[in-house]
Chain A
Amino acid sequence: MFRTAHVLAGAALLATLGCATSSKPIGAAGDAASRVYVAPGEHDELYAFMSGGFSGNVTVYGLPSGRLLQQIAVFSQYPEKGYGYSEQTKAMFNTSYGFVPWDDAHHPQLSITNGQADGRWLFINGNNTPRIARIDLTRFETEEIIEIPNSSGGHGSPYITENSEYAVSATRFALPTPQEDMSIKDGKFGGMLSFVKIDPTTGGMTLAFQIHVPGYDYDLARSGKGPSRDWSFFTSYNSEEAKTLLEANASQKDKDYIAAVNRKAAEACVAGGKAKNWNTPYAHNRVGEDGMARTEMIKTQKVLEVTDCPGLLYFLPTPKSPHGVDVDPTGEFIVAGGKLATTIPVHSFSKMVKAIADKAFDGDVGGIPVLKYEAIIAGEVQNPGLGPLHTEFDGKGYAYTSIFISSEIVKFSLKDFTVVDRVPTYYSIGHLMIPGGDTEKPYGKYVIALNKITKDRYLPTGPELTQSGQLYDISGDKMKLLLDFPMTGEPHYAQALPASVLKEKSQKTYSLTDNKDAYATKSEKDVKVVRQGTRVHVYMTAIRSHFLPDNIEGIQVGDSVFFHLTNLEQDWDVPHGFAMLGAQNSELLIMPGQTRTLTWQPQRPGVYPFYCTDFCSALHQEMQGYIRVSVKGSSVPLVWNGGSGTLGK
């Protein structure tokens, strides 16, 4: 009896230790914890780049751990990094509407070579004031943003082509093209599909041409691969051209269209002078060799009318208000997510080519041939669930579609289009992402659900709750939930690639010797303060753990003081920060070897401190200085310490 009691006590003790089996989270695989465990100091298997949605950022996560590694500032001012506040980065937000310091980041796309992510750049679109940004993946910094003219709601973007020749963009909201003052109800609106050429060496973007299309809402896009490499596909809804209460009025017809664009035909027409010059201004912002972002305002663009370029564009009828349009790794299947449809239609590229050759048309819309649905369809997935949106591929003959209304992922076979597995998501999945699952050679192994709503999944945080990513193992026949983690903004699409592609080329510092900033100070002996009227340039350095100069006198109310701060460090992970009392912008965060400039307009006489914000050493708290501000016209001379300065000598 005594012994038995001990055994029971032992068993009870073991139970209270809480090994996973007794408190398994809903839906998770039994060995989930060990499958996503990355030991302290170990690295993740994959980098994942998630759209930060309305935060305007891109977030970088490690998979399978779901650990947040970095936030890349793209379409929003980001005071932590001084992005959009420092003189070097302000121009990134210039548009034809002026300084627009926010946008809604949607679809990240890794650059690809031969249909596979090459780890050079990440492109992402801004939806609100249509733009495409390019992020350099050695530095994880935004280097270029191009505005897309004659567009609104740049949603179907950037969806690049097989060898990163182009990023595309489609206007989601039909509008007067070109813009003019007209009646909403009676005005004739148009749409625009844009092709942005990507320089194969620098990644630099130029707007090559635009295609003027009927005024539907163009939603999402994909460019083809393999046999379909010369084509890009755009879904549209609201072929009813409703302008009010689209919720009901844009869902009248049984079918809307996928626009299939033959890029080669477009290129030939543009080269043959068929495009017209339009004159809608747009901004192109790019970081130069000296680290300074500059804006070029461009005044014209080439626009093709479909009727001037036969063979350019065909409509693929597709039920019903289709959302996603995704091309499988072989380039043959074009899967449409008919968000209000009861099936998932899968078009065949080879049938489409044949239908075009056979002229199997169901009439035309504004000169655009409409292909016969029966002539192009490869199959329809029956009973996929309610609200199919987006599809990714595992490279093993299966497709995975996110189902919004019924909150699930369905897996179906590309052989017979039957559903073979389904799992719930928590909750309201939008996009989903398989690493490389949109390329010719998917990495597979995982699928991540990007959920809009989390309701009861985490500790509540007031009215606004986080969005989430959910990681599923797809290596077996059945999908298994492994991990559930919170995400920033509304995570739209995402991309991932093996860590080995990127991690060795991650840049550690900027070379001080190669620093080409016009105001760089490469040695303490060169620090100085220069007055030009009411503009005062401070050439300042930072190294562990002091600024030089750190005492300046002779600044006056009404001056604009430019702190040009160069970080003299040449070691990894030693940025310095700079914060100035009363500055009406942000801090600076300066990477080793880099120069950044903050502008300060002193308002009242006195002595004002500045300090380093990024903990840099045991003497970080000592990294501080003072500036004396006198009244306008004061006789206090301009003096400083360090370099040629005389203060303290």
Chain B
Amino acid sequence: MMTWKRWPMLAVLGLALLSGGCGGKDDDDKDKGKEREEHGKEETELSAFELEHGIGPVKEPIQLGAIDKAMAATGKSVFETKCSACHKMDTLYIGPALGEVTTRRSGAYIMNMILNPQEMVERHPIAKQLLAERMTFMANQNLTLEEARAVLEYLRTQSKNAPKP
């Protein structure tokens, strides 16, 4: 005859089997760990730097001086090949007009948006808002850090208040 003492143990065993499924490998735990990690990432609050300068490989403010004409010329050619299909200077096209972007956003923000658009639209409040409005992702065109910096220099020349070279 079974006693009361043994019955709860069987119940526990049954539950363990139920929740473990047939595989019951530690892979399941690994997956859960991953999920937690991913959730954790989203929940992390942005630092003051990230709020102002965006999230990405550029971790310090970009010091901007007089326009570097050679760099701006390089930036123009990169922009025309990889960006101009979606961005115009004076008008909203697929993405926002960029003529005055350097007066709206910091240099580091612009570079991080170019270099790390996926994470920016997932986590940065401004980029998230823009995605919600436009419904189209900023394409990652895989620019190098130097190319992104050159595009920034070109964009500076497009502003009505552009600093003199």
Same complex: yes
Chain A residues at the B interface, C-beta cutoff of 8 Å: 3-4, 6-7, 10, 13-14, 17-20, 33-34, 37, 39-41, 509, 512-513, 522-525, 541, 543-546, 548, 568-571, 574, 617-619
How far is it, in angstroms, between the C-alpha of A617 and the C-alpha of B143 when the chains are bound?
21
Q: Are B84 and A523 in contact, CB atoms less than 8 angstroms apart? A: yes
How far is it, in angstroms, between the C-alpha of A34 and the C-alpha of B26 when the chains are bound?
11
Partner of A523, one of B10, B22, B23, B81: B81
Q: Are A6 and B7 in contact, CB atoms less than 8 angstroms apart? A: yes
How many A-B Cβ pairs are below 8 Å? 85
Instruction: Determine the chain A residues whose CB is within 8 A of the CB of B10 once the complex forms.
Output: 7, 10
CB of B43 closer than 8 Å to a CB of A: no
Q: Are A570 and B82 in contact, CB atoms less than 8 angstroms apart? A: yes
Q: Are B85 and A524 in contact, CB atoms less than 8 angstroms apart? A: yes
Partner of A568, one of B27, B85, B135: B85
Instruction: Determine the chain A residues whose CB is within 8 A of the CB of B94 once the complex forms.
Output: 543-546
Q: Are A39 and B31 in contact, CB atoms less than 8 angstroms apart? A: yes
Q: Are B141 and A571 in contact, CB atoms less than 8 angstroms apart? A: yes
Q: Are B23 and A618 in contact, CB atoms less than 8 angstroms apart? A: no
Residues 139-162 of chain B: 1 if any A CB is under 8 Å from the residue's CB, otherwise 0? Answer: 111110000000000000000000
How far is it, in angstroms, between the C-alpha of A571 and the C-alpha of B86 when the chains are bound?
15
Known: A39-B31, A544-B136. 11 other contacts (CB 8 A): A3-B2, A6-B7, A41-B34, A512-B81, A546-B85, A568-B82, A570-B82, A570-B139, A570-B140, A618-B135, A618-B137
Chain B residues at the A interface, C-beta cutoff of 8 Å: 2, 4, 7, 10-11, 14, 17-18, 22-23, 25, 27, 30-31, 34, 80-82, 84-86, 94, 135-137, 139-143
Q: Are A523 and B17 in contact, CB atoms less than 8 angstroms apart? A: no
Q: Are A4 and B139 in contact, CB atoms less than 8 angstroms apart? A: no
Question: What's the least CB distance linking B18 to chain A, in Å?
Answer: 7
Main secondary structure on chain A at its contact with chain B?
loop
Q: Offer 5 A-B interface pairs, CB within 8 angstroms, sorted by A.
A: A13-B14, A41-B34, A525-B84, A543-B94, A571-B141
Q: Are B7 and A7 in contact, CB atoms less than 8 angstroms apart? A: yes
Question: What's the least CB distance linking A12 to chain B, in Å?
Answer: 11
Question: What's the least CB distance linking A11 to chain B, in Å?
Answer: 9
Residue among B7, B14, B23, B142 with most chain A CB within 10 A = B142
How far is it, in angstroms, between the C-alpha of A548 and the C-alpha of B94 when the chains are bound?
12
Q: Are B142 and A570 in contact, CB atoms less than 8 angstroms apart? A: yes
How far is it, in angstroms, between the C-alpha of A17 and the C-alpha of B31 when the chains are bound?
22
Task: Kindly list the 8 A-B residue pairs having the minimum CB-CB distance in the complex, ordered from nearest.
Answer: A543-B85, A570-B141, A571-B140, A570-B142, A523-B80, A19-B22, A618-B135, A524-B85
Instruction: Determine the chain A residues whose CB is within 8 A of the CB of B34 once the complex forms.
Output: 41
Q: Are B86 and A34 in contact, CB atoms less than 8 angstroms apart? A: no
Partner of B23, one of A14, A33, A513, A546: A33
Instruction: Determine the chain B residues whose CB is within 8 A of the CB of A18 once the complex forms.
Output: 22
Q: Are B139 and A574 in contact, CB atoms less than 8 angstroms apart? A: yes
How far is it, in angstroms, between the C-alpha of A18 and the C-alpha of B30 when the chains are bound?
24
How far is it, in angstroms, between the C-alpha of A370 and the C-alpha of B82 when the chains are bound?
67
Q: Are A524 and B31 in contact, CB atoms less than 8 angstroms apart? A: no
Instruction: Determine the chain A residues whose CB is within 8 A of the CB of B143 once the complex forms.
Output: 570
Q: Are A543 and B139 in contact, CB atoms less than 8 angstroms apart? A: yes
Q: Are A619 and B7 in contact, CB atoms less than 8 angstroms apart? A: no
- Chain A residue with Cβ nearest B135: A618
Instruction: Determine the chain B residues whose CB is within 8 A of the CB of A13 once the complex forms.
Output: 14
Q: Are A569 and B139 in contact, CB atoms less than 8 angstroms apart? A: yes
Instruction: Determine the chain B residues whose CB is within 8 A of the CB of A524 once the complex forms.
Output: 84-85
Instruction: Determine the chain B residues whose CB is within 8 A of the CB of A39 once the complex forms.
Output: 27, 30-31
Question: What's the least CB distance linking A65 to chain B, in Å?
Answer: 13
Question: What's the least CB distance linking B72 to chain A, in Å?
Answer: 17
Instruction: Determine the chain A residues whose CB is within 8 A of the CB of B31 once the complex forms.
Output: 39-41
Q: Are A619 and B18 in contact, CB atoms less than 8 angstroms apart? A: no
How far is it, in angstroms, between the C-alpha of A6 and the C-alpha of B11 when the chains are bound?
10
Q: Are A14 and B17 in contact, CB atoms less than 8 angstroms apart? A: yes
- Chain B residue with Cβ nearest A642: B85
How far is it, in angstroms, between the C-alpha of A524 and the C-alpha of B84 when the chains are bound?
7
Instruction: Determine the chain B residues whose CB is within 8 A of the CB of A574 once the complex forms.
Output: 139
How far is it, in angstroms, between the C-alpha of A558 and the C-alpha of B84 when the chains are bound?
35
Q: Are B23 and A37 in contact, CB atoms less than 8 angstroms apart? A: yes
Q: Are A619 and B135 in contact, CB atoms less than 8 angstroms apart? A: yes
How far is it, in angstroms, between the C-alpha of A523 and the C-alpha of B27 when the chains are bound?
47
How far is it, in angstroms, between the C-alpha of A544 and the C-alpha of B30 when the chains are bound?
36
Instruction: Determine the chain B residues whose CB is within 8 A of the CB of A19 once the complex forms.
Output: 17, 22
Q: Are B22 and A20 in contact, CB atoms less than 8 angstroms apart? A: yes
Question: What's the least CB distance linking A643 to chain B, in Å?
Answer: 11
Question: What's the least CB distance linking B77 to chain A, in Å?
Answer: 9
Question: What's the least CB distance linking B37 to chain A, in Å?
Answer: 12
Partner of B7, one of A3, A14, A20: A3
